[in-house]
Amino acid sequence: MAASTPTSDNSPNIPEYEYGNANSTTFHIDSLRKEWLSRLKPSDYSHRADDEDAFHANFAHEMGVSVDMMRALKEVCSTEALRCHPEDQQPDPEVVPEDPTLKTLVERKKRQDYKSSLKISKNRHDLYADEQERLAFTMKPEAVENRVPEGDVILTINVYYPATFEKFCYVRPHVTLLLLGSQSLTELRDAICCISDLQVCGEFSDTPDVAPDFVSKDHYKSAYFFFEGVFYNDMRYPECCDISQTTITWVKANNFPSYSQAKMEDTKLVDLKVKVGFPYLYCHQGDCEHIVIITDVRLTHKDDCLDRKFYPLLTHKHRVSTQKCAVCYTFIARWCTTGDQFAPSHPCLFCDKCFRMLHYDADGNKLGDFLAYPYVDSGAFN
């Protein structure tokens, strides 16, 4: 699909590809939804399955064909005509068939043979992803008020992990969320799990027993989304401040086109004017920045999960391996020490038990010289 100059009679709400085909042009989501609904019949996007005989009868009536002709048509165009093997000899669909003629199959066979020669059959990403995928589909609610209405839009949003790991340069680790158009940005914000929200600040080598009961999430509640030149700030709590203000004042001072602000809790996703496939920004904790890309916008379908309670729905998540204790390599690390005379490396990770055994005596006195910080592992959300 080459990028073409939009013709003059195209309404601005019909998105085209932008130059480079990596993303679409800007469009207003609700207008897109209305455009689609105006062009479709309600039966096209309804969630109910209709009666097939009624459909055939209507078709025959509309085309003015006889019953025999209709029967012949049904027979010719049925799935039976596409059956490649006789009914009782269906080969196993999980296995590549013998003597494949299609190029895709030849290549697939080669890959399968190669994979079976490797020792590791599945990696950790696949193990959980299969499970997640199964949960995402065909959930029907019991109560009618929880049902997703027909004609609503579903957005698929990728939220990428902050680019602070050197390891993740060539792979783009992300979380994929499905959201309804009628949901607001705050619901998106609440669904994003970032470990920087759970960080506890402070040095606790002298008082390891004081369980830190506050996390960064409770301290620093401000956050914003940045879409198409507008900062959407979270102002739900009295502690929230407008952290986008510094950027806006800088922009004004430096001759950039100015940006505007809005409230996150007042903006529904359908009110946004965005590009599909274009990276935007989510910033929280003052400096933890995530790239947000809206990968897909479409009308709801009968095979989607139709229960409102489940949205925002997580469909894909990159698993990060957990860091374990350096001593026992069994438990997940809870403490991180620096300048530690007992530790082989700087910094070094310990689980709770090993930490206390190594650094404190039986009475709980601190032995030696070190600094200890509570550590939240990046794989905490696995």
Candidates 226-234, 237-245, 343-351, 363-371: pick the segment binding other proteins (CB under 8 A).
343-351
Amino acid identity, position 361: D
Does 32 interact with other proteins (rule: CB under 8 A)? yes
Q: Is the dihedral of CA 372, 374, 379, 382 positive or negative?
A: positive
Pairwise CA distance, residues 322 & 226, whole Å: 31
Does 319 interact with other proteins (rule: CB under 8 A)? no
Does 130 interact with other proteins (rule: CB under 8 A)? yes
Q: How would you classify the pairing of strands 371-374 and 348-350?
A: unpaired
Q: What residues numbered 44-73 form the site for other proteins, per CB under 8 A?
A: 44-46, 49-50, 52, 55, 59, 63, 65, 69, 73
Q: Radius of gyration (Cα) for the chain, nearest Å?
A: 28
Q: What residues numbered 233-272 form the site for other proteins, per CB under 8 A?
A: none
Which tokens go with 9?
């009679």
Q: Choose, by CB under 8 A, the member of 3, 67, 133, 250 that binds other proteins.
A: 133
Q: Is residue 206 within 8 Å of 366, Cβ to Cβ?
A: yes
Residue 249 neighbours by CB under 8 Å, 6+ apart: none
Residue 74 neighbours by CB under 8 Å, 6+ apart: 56
Q: How far apart are the first and last CA of the chain?
A: 38
Which is nearer to other proteins, 220 or 370 (by Cβ)?
370
Q: What residues numbered 188-227 form the site for other proteins, per CB under 8 A?
A: none
Question: Among residues 7, 19, 5, which one has the least CA distance to residue 277?
Answer: 19
Which is nearer to other proteins, 84 or 169 (by Cβ)?
84
Q: Choose, by CB under 8 A, the member of 328, 367, 368, 380 that binds other proteins.
A: 328
Q: Choose, by CB under 8 A, the member of 57, 124, 126, 165 that binds other proteins.
A: 126
Q: Quote the least distance from Cβ 356 to other proteins, whole Å.
A: 16
Candidates 41-49, 192-200, 244-252, 264-272: pick the segment binding other proteins (CB under 8 A).
41-49
Pairwise CA distance, residues 360 & 6, whole Å: 71
Does 93 interact with other proteins (rule: CB under 8 A)? yes
Which tokens go with 237?
């709590």
Which is nearer to other proteins, 130 or 369 (by Cβ)?
130
Q: How would you classify the pairing of strands 223-227 and 230-233?
A: antiparallel
If 0-12 CB within 10 Å is exposed, 13-18 middle and 19+ buried, where does residue 366 land?
middle
Q: Is the dihedral of CA 251, 244, 376, 315 positive or negative?
A: negative
Q: Quote the least distance from Cβ 17 to other proteins, whole Å.
A: 7
Q: Quote the least distance from Cβ 243 to other proteins, whole Å.
A: 25
Q: Is residue 232 within 8 Å of 223, Cβ to Cβ?
A: no
Q: Quote the least distance from Cβ 321 to other proteins, whole Å.
A: 12
Q: What residues numbered 141-170 form the site for other proteins, per CB under 8 A?
A: 156, 158
Candidates 130-138, 196-204, 215-223, 230-238: pick the segment binding other proteins (CB under 8 A).
130-138
Q: Quote the least distance from Cβ 177 to other proteins, whole Å.
A: 14
Candidates 10-18, 194-202, 215-223, 250-258: pick the segment binding other proteins (CB under 8 A).
10-18
Does 120 interact with other proteins (rule: CB under 8 A)? no
Does 324 interact with other proteins (rule: CB under 8 A)? yes
Does 96 interact with other proteins (rule: CB under 8 A)? yes
Q: Is residue 236 within 8 Å of 187, Cβ to Cβ?
A: no
Q: Quote the least distance from Cβ 198 to other proteins, whole Å.
A: 23
Helical (H) or strand (E) element with 212: none
Which tokens go with 135?
């949960």
Specify which residues 288 forms β-bridges with.
284
Does 109 interact with other proteins (rule: CB under 8 A)? yes
Q: Is residue 176 within 8 Å of 314, Cβ to Cβ?
A: yes
Does 181 interact with other proteins (rule: CB under 8 A)? no
Which is nearer to other proteins, 155 or 262 (by Cβ)?
155
Does 302 interact with other proteins (rule: CB under 8 A)? yes
Does 21 interact with other proteins (rule: CB under 8 A)? yes
